[in-house]
Structure 1
Amino acid sequence: MNTPEQSQLGKNSAYIDQYDASLLFPIPRATKRAEIGIADEGKGSVPFFGADLWSAFELSWLNTKGKPQVALAHFTVPCETPNIVESKSFKLYLNSFNNTRFADASAVRDRLRSDISEAVWRGSDRPSTVGVRLVLPEEFDREPVHEIDGLSLDRLDLECTHYSPAPELLTAAFDEAPVSEVLTSNLLKSNCLVTGQPDWGTVQISYSGPQIDQAGLLQYIVSFRNHNEFHEQCVERIFMEVWRRCKPIKLTVYARYTRRGGLDINPFRTSHPSALPPNIRTARQ
């Protein structure tokens, strides 16, 4: 089983510029899910739906004449996959396209879909595919920038004293009528599980049920500030702790993290089947 410590994170790495799918480094989701009480066992038996939305801003290859081509790429990785791909290995893998010739953009897209699908579904008895969409230069101007919708928790003037996850801060009004709210914050920050480098994010929490105390929720989001965990793991931890402590009828947690190394990762988890949000970057991304 691959562990984060075995990856290329925090290590000097040779940049391979010829195609090499073996650079992808899958890490099982099950270990970190077990920490938050999810007995996944790699079978997709998780108490939520959703996906990880990746965007790659540094994708290039050569056409058959050796002329460089560029594109943006959007990836959709279902949360049921038994593995995530460690982000540095993803970057090294994309770099391996730089001096490799492909017939056209469709061939690049198909190769990306095949390789990433194999990595994230490795070990599964029912593998599927990931979504891959390339955005070519003539479409760049149609890539929007938009902030996540909702009522900003950051408007609250309050004292923050917890900088490691503190689920005890989460409370809800169980004796009052249920509400439906969409709440956001730009104050989500966590750190890379291996290197400790900061990861900056915006989070949206949509729910129906007992009204969640907004001050406590913001303090809880801030409490991730010194926490070391990958993006996907942080969002699943937030989802499970809000779900258990505030007992909403419906819950969705969506975070958009700023890019590093030309990649951003945006996990989306929801208690009920729903359409994925459009993969639209925020101003900070």
Structure 2
Amino acid sequence: MPRLRLFGFETLADMDLATPMAESSPSAGPELSFSCLPADPAKMQAPTDNALYLSNSLNGSGDPSVQLFEVNESTWLMRFPGIADFYLMSGEIECRLVDPRLAFMVDVLLLGHVMACYLERQGILALHAGALAVGHRAVLLAGQRGAGKSTMVTSMVAAGFSLMADDIAAVEENTGVVICRSAFPQVKLTPEQLGRFVKGKGRSYPRFHPGFPKLSVPVADLGNFDLGPRPVGAIYLLERGHEESVVIETLPPARAVAELARHSFLGHVLEATPMLRDRFAHLARLASAVPVKRLGYPDGFCHLADVHAAIENDLEAKE
């Protein structure tokens, strides 16, 4: 059975994922098991009385496209109607796939919503951010749509900084120490980003999801992957196009907590669950332990190197 490292968990899987994965340590015992089984229609009835979340977005059949249920005290069910059910238990994730022709969706769902939910249930915050190793620390980059997060992460990897996470940064705080776990060695690039940052490879890459243009690219074709974990040096909230030069400003605590909540990967899903109070307290501890900063920078690829240098200088100023 394949063994891999997924968001810091030594994972035993019953299938090979199409997405590049970091190899597991041979001496480490598994902390998480993942299995994918054919769905049994007789067992597909969801516990509707225990719905934690039903998305406003609907699928082609008119059902909420993402559904979350509490099966019992130890098990949650994340359902993607017509595609798969994922049962989340401590140390175990089980996928029940509706149609084997939809096997390509296992990676998409597992490495997005499902793992984010699993992390949160383990007390690990899943932030919608990229993460890179800068020196001995992790740097997180978040931003609203259009802020340039994907391009900035890609440009930093191409410039020699090691990737830790492309889209979901797994962060945990314990007695004032905040660390970031590494996700998996893949980046999702648009064809334009691919042409600019991945030179001379002569390869074609599959789409991460058939409905979206971004391609699944092994980070080895761009730069390096850092296995982590690493202490978090700072969290930067990117704002592109509003400044004539790079500007970095530390946010006050209340705004920092609000921004971290806004950049939680599944904040809209988990806000109606019993986890809400503990998550808010976790975000507050994170904001008090790690600086959260606004990073404004001019639009244009020519300014990316200036942003890289500004981040390094800002981190050095902390020491």
TM-score (normalised: structure 2): 0.24
Q: Please state which structure has a larger fraction of its residues in strand.
A: 2
